[in-house]
Structure 1
Amino acid sequence: MLGELELVIDAKATLGEGPCWDSKKQLLYWVDILGKKVHIYNPITNKNKEIFVGQMVGSVVPSKSGNVILALENGFHWLNPDTEELQAIYDPESHLQDNRFNDGKCDPAGRFWAGTTDSVGISGEGVLYCLDADLTVKKKLEQVSTSNGLAWSPNHTYMYFIDTPTRKVVRFDYDVHTGHITNPQDVIVIPKEEGLPDGMPIDEEGMLWIAHWGGSKVSRWNPVNGEQLLTIPIPALYVTSCTFGGSDLNELYITTARMHSTDSSAGGVFRIKMNIRGCPTYQFNG
């Protein structure tokens, strides 16, 4: 079922996170939150470009404009990946000095969802926001501690969300036309001994792939019955997120963190070939 796990970028990132595949350009975007860098990896040339953005960066997504959108310490920003020019859009939490943006993704309609966390990550001071194509920002969930994994079902009827300290994946009924989410249901609980759930994509069969912070692995889950289907061990304790990439969306890219770790490959990006395809990374519609 699986190929061989390989370390493709030995980046030694302090807090590697937020991998995102750009199908149009066949590039992998990812971030080092504490290193304050956006990374752009080209698997054809095996080159990894670093862009220092001067503030903690939680997530990056491609936009149909050709730029990328970032969720930074100080709100939403455009980034031109060629000129490296940064342009502010809006900071919904300019009054909260301890908060920063964390994980984020675009939904099937091209809205950018990203959530915040404070410096401790357990206080419930965070919010999940949605940036629409017209650059208006709406609050979607409040009293979030560490906003993390986001995914939408292949038929666009459900949204899945992880607030890391809860150790749960919550499923919402999702309206692709309006972006409304309703009817939260707990569908997966990660056992304590397996670490904490972090980033999360979804495959074309509707199964979720969860990165285990402190658990040295990625696991595949069925959100219908809460069953764990598969585990991929990763030689780094702090596994932060993963995404499907490659021309057939059958390669899983996995980010890790070097902080608090002695693993030699920690902070690197790994890749493993699968016999299943992921759902595409949606781009921002603005």
Structure 2
Amino acid sequence: MEIELPVRQLLDTKALLGEGAVWDHARKIVWFVDIKRRHLWHYDPDTGSNAHVEAPDQIGWALPANGGALLCGLKDGLHVFDPRTRDFDKLADIPGESPANRLNDACTDPWGRVWFGTMHDEEELSSGRFYVFDRGEIRPAGPSGITITNGPAVNRDGSLIYFTDTLGRTIYVADLTADGVGEPRLLVDTSRDFPGAYPDGPVVDAEGYIWTALYLGGRVARYSPEGTLAATVAIPARDVTKLAFGGTDLSTAFVTSATKNMEPDDMTRFPQAGSLFAFDAPAPGFVQPLVELA
């Protein structure tokens, strides 16, 4: 079950809340964020070059879009980021969202839609829910009444979408089509396999298996499409937050981590916590579709 793979520390940012790893296939770089420091990072695995910009507010994710921009989920709504000018431009508010909520995680589907979730910033109220951004239109879609949403994640052909309720320790799956999303159904209660950990950012590989980071779990886990635990990979960080596939053949797993809830003794045990990591995955990912902005 536990796969012993060499895990490489790529970049030591000591992120408070590293999240949102995504592979930019056109630029051949990884984008990721430090939500609490409002940092949008990029990392080039070929050269090791990296840099960050400061967003106008807490930033949960950044996804490559058509035309070369990034669509970003900030606490106050959706923004478009131009990597050439390093400017953020507000695109839209999230209708009906409480100012106490923020955006947390997101993915694209084969139709260029963006699926994303909101959550209570203090992680106390069940005020979060999922939405879809469809060429300028934002509408609720998927589960609601969640304290910490994570994902969604969509499989390769766009037939399934996965939603994570982190504090509920559950991952749901629903059918997906060009017309919308079906009724979510429980895929797995991760507490049966990891009673002390919480499922965080998910992603699907090319074989249809779901990978989830494990906050307080020190690893990532791979589940079958039927919800059976297939493998785990240990990560040298306690609070693992998100995984993304990238690299030349899309078989490098890039992993983010966090430090915001760690005490000095925890940092002594996990001195690389908050870093961006990588390992060679047993199965590749697939190219994530670009966001269709309009």
TM-score of Structure 1 vs Structure 2, range by shorter chain:
over 0.9
2:280 to 250, 266, 273: 273
Q: For 1:81-92, list aligned pairs within 5 A.
A: 81-92=83-94
1:47 to 2:65 alignment: no
Q: Which residue of 1 aligns with 2:292?
A: 285
For residue 91 of structure 1, report the CA deviation from its aligned partner: 1.0
Cα deviation for residue 25 of structure 1 reads 1.2
- Find the aligned partners of 1:17 and 1:94 in 2 and give their Cα distance: 25
Which structure 1 residue ranges, 4+ long, deviate > 3 Å from structure 2?
none
The alignment-based identity, stated in percent, is 28
Separation in 2 of the partners of 1:130 and 1:215? 29
The residue type paired with residue 185 of structure 2 is Q
* Structure 1 residue 282 displacement after superposition: 2.1
1:223, distance to aligned residue in structure 2 (A):
2.5
Contact 1:74/1:94 (8 A) holds in 2: no
Which residue is equivalent to 1:78? 80
1:66 aligns with 68
Number of residue pairs the alignment of both structures matches: 282
What amino acid maps onto 1:108 in structure 2?
Answer: P
Q: Which residue pairs with 1:242 in the alignment? A: 243
Cα distance in 2, alignment partners of residues 94 and 160 from structure 1: 24
With over 3 angstroms needed to count, the CA separation of the structure-2 counterparts of 1:95 and 1:210, relative to structure 1, is closer
Match of 2:115 in 1: 113
Q: How far off its partner does 1:221 sit? A: 0.6
Q: 1:123 and 2:120 equivalent?
A: no
1:188 aligns with 2:195: no
The 8 Å contact of residues 188 and 223 in structure 1, kept in 2 or not, is answered as no
Contact 1:74/1:93, CA 8 A, preserved across alignment? no
Residue deviations 1:159-217 (CA, integer Å, cap 9, x gap)? 11102111111010111x22x11132111111252400000111111001110011110
Find the partner of 2:220 among 209, 218, 221.
218
For 2:168, which of 166, 169, 178 is the aligned residue? 166
Kindly provide the CA deviation profile for residues 51-104 of structure 1, in whole angstroms up to 9, marking residues without a partner as x: 101310011100011010100011000001121111001111576221111011
Please give the alpha-carbon distance, in whole angstroms, between the structure 2 residues aligned to 1:94 and 1:49. Answer: 34
TM, length-normalised to structure 2: 0.92
TM-score (norm 1): 0.94
Using the TM superposition, give the Cα deviation of residue 129 of structure 1 relative to its aligned residue in structure 2, in angstroms. Answer: 1.3
State the distance in 2 between where 1:75 and 1:233 align.
Answer: 34
Other structure's SS at 1:65 match: helix
Cα distance per residue 1:202-243 (max 9 Å; x no partner) = 11110011100111100111131x211111111111000100
Report the aligned-residue RMSD.
Answer: 1.5
What residue number does 2:28 align with?
26
SS of structure 1 residue aligned to 2:195: helix
Aligned 8 A contact 2:11 2:277 in 1: yes
Secondary structure of the structure 1 residue equivalent to 2:183: strand
Unaligned segments of structure 2, at least 5 residues = none
Aligned to 2:232: 231
What amino acid is aligned across from residue 175 of structure 2 in structure 1? D
Q: Which one is further off, 147-156 or 66-75? A: 147-156
- Paired with 1:124 and 1:101, the residues of 2 have a C-alpha distance of 14
Contact 1:13–1:258 (CA under 8 A) maintained in structure 2? yes
Is this contact kept in 1: 2:4–2:233, CA < 8 A?
no
Name 2:137's counterpart in structure 1: 136
CA deviation after TM superposition for structure 1 residue 3, in Å: 4.6
1:39 aligned counterpart, secondary structure:
strand
Please give the secondary structure, in 2, of the residue aligned with 1:30.
Answer: strand
Aligned-pair CA distance for 1:260: 2.2
Cα contact 1:239–1:256 (8 A) shared by 2: yes
* Maintained 8 Å contact 2:252/2:279: yes
SS at match of 1:198: strand
- Alignment check: 8 A CA contact 1:128 1:144 kept: no
**Aligned twin of 1:5:** 7
State the AA in 2 paired with 1:126: G
Say which SS state the counterpart of residue 67 (structure 2) adopts. coil
Distance 1:259 1:220 in 2: 25
